[in-house]
Amino acid sequence: MNRVLLTATWNFGRLAVERAFNMLELGASALDALETGINAVEMDESVQSVGYGGLPNRAGYVELDAAIMDARGHRSGAVAALRGFRRPISVARRVMEVLPHALLVGEGAAEFAREQGFEEEETLSPEASEQWLQWRETQAPPADVEDSHDTVGMIIWTPDTIVVGCSTSGLKWKYPGRVGDSPIVGAGLYADEEVGAAVATGNGDEISRVALCSRVVFLMERGMSAQEACDEAIRYLMRKRTDASGTPPHAAVLAVRADGNFGVSASYAKFPYALHDGQSLTMGEREALEPE
C-alpha cells in the first residue's frame, strides 16, 4: 500500500487502527476507514467510555459526543450530548456531509440522526446501568475524576489526505448537558490540510479551556515538529491549569504533520496509543511530560 500512517488513543486504539487499516487495504477512503475504526470501539460494549457501554451522566442517561474533520476542504461535523444512538461518529460525519452546520446538540442531534435513518437504540448497557445504580446510592464523585473517562481519537494520514475523528461518552456521572472537548473543533481535534492534524483525550473541560488541538496545529504551522508541538501544547496546559496541589490536568494529544511526521505527548504517565505505519501496528506508551 502507498504510504500511510494511522494512530489512535488508548489500548482500544488498537481495535480502531486494525479495523481502519483493513478498510484501507480493501481500497476504502480514509474517511470510511476512520469511521469504521471508531465505530468498532463505539460498538464494543466492554469499553465504558465510548458509544454503547459508555457510563451515563448523573441522571442515568448516556450522552455521547463525537466529531470528525477532513483536512481537505477544512470540513467538519459534530454531535454533542446525543442520546439514543450508538455510533455518534457516523452521525457527526453525516452532519459534515449534509448540513451547513458544524455541531448539533441534544434533541436536535437526535432528530437529525432519526431523519437520516440511523436506528434509535438503547445506549445504556446492563453493566453500565448496574454501575450507575450503585453510584446513585452514594452519589460520590468519582474517586479519581481523571480515571473516569477516555476518548477514542484517531488520525489517518496519507500523502494527500488527513482525516481525524473522536468519540466519547465523556466524564462518567457528568452533569446532564455537559459537553467535553471531543465535539469542539480546535479543542478535541483539529486538522489543516497544509499543516497536519491533532486529536486529544483526557479532562475535556481543561482541554477545551486551552483549545489544545488548535494550539498543536498552530505550533506545527510555525515550524515545530509534531513532537515539539505536542510537548509545547501540553506544557501550556500544565502552565495554565495545574491546580493548587501541583497536579496538572490529565491530557494527551496525538499529532501528524502534513508530511507524515508523528508526535505524542501526555501530562501523565503511561498514556497508551496505537500506531500503524503501513507495515506494522505497534502499541506505544508515552511517559508524562516533566513540568517546566
28-36, 116-124, 167-175, 228-236 -> range binding ligand ASP (CB under 6 A): 167-175
Contacts with ligand ASP in 231-290 (CB under 6 A)? none
Please name which of 104, 87, 82, 108 lies closest in space to residue 95, comparing C-alpha atoms.
Answer: 104
Q: Which residue has the cell 508524562?
A: 288
Question: 212, 240 in Cβ contact below 8 A?
Answer: no
182 touches ligand ASP (CB under 6 A): yes
Beta carbons within 10 angstroms of residue 232's beta carbon: 18
171 touches ligand ASP (CB under 6 A): yes
Question: 288, 266 in Cβ contact below 8 A?
Answer: yes
51 touches ligand ASP (CB under 6 A): no
- The one-letter amino acid code at 157 reads W
54-62, 166-174, 241-249, 255-263 -> range binding ligand ASP (CB under 6 A): 166-174
E runs forming strands in 71-178: 75-82, 103-105, 152-158, 161-168
Please report which helix (H) or strand (E) contains residue 126, including its range: helix 126-138
**Smallest distance, ligand ASP to C-beta of residue 3, A:** 29
Q: Which is nearer to ligand ASP, 1 or 59 (CB)?
A: 59
Residues in the interface with ligand ASP (CB under 6 A) total: 14
Please select the residue that binds ligand ASP; options are 14, 149, 257, 276, rule is CB under 6 A.
149
Please select the residue that binds ligand ASP; options are 53, 204, 248, 263, rule is CB under 6 A.
204
37 touches ligand ASP (CB under 6 A): no
Q: How far is CA 99 from the centre of its chain?
A: 22
> Rounded distance, CA 145 to CA 170, Å?
11
C-alpha cell at 191: 486538522
**Smallest distance, ligand ASP to C-beta of residue 288, A:** 16
88-96, 131-139, 177-185, 240-248 -> range binding ligand ASP (CB under 6 A): 177-185
Question: 187, 208 in Cβ contact below 8 A?
Answer: yes
53 touches ligand ASP (CB under 6 A): no
Q: How far is CA 271 from the centre of its chain?
A: 14
**Smallest distance, ligand ASP to C-beta of residue 199, A:** 10
180 touches ligand ASP (CB under 6 A): yes
Please name which of 96, 100, 69, 77 lies closest in space to residue 193, comparing C-alpha atoms.
Answer: 69
Q: How far is CA 283 from the centre of its chain?
A: 17
**Smallest distance, ligand ASP to C-beta of residue 8, A:** 12
Q: Which is nearer to ligand ASP, 109 or 207 (CB)?
A: 207
Catalytic residues: 151
**Smallest distance, ligand ASP to C-beta of residue 27, A:** 31
Which sign does the torsion angle of CA 186, 187, 191, 197 carry?
A: positive
181 touches ligand ASP (CB under 6 A): yes
**Smallest distance, ligand ASP to C-beta of residue 169, A:** 8
Axis-axis angle for helices 212-221, 226-241 (nearest 10)? 140
Binding footprint of ligand ASP on the chain (CB under 6 A)? 149-151, 168, 170-171, 180-182, 201-204, 207
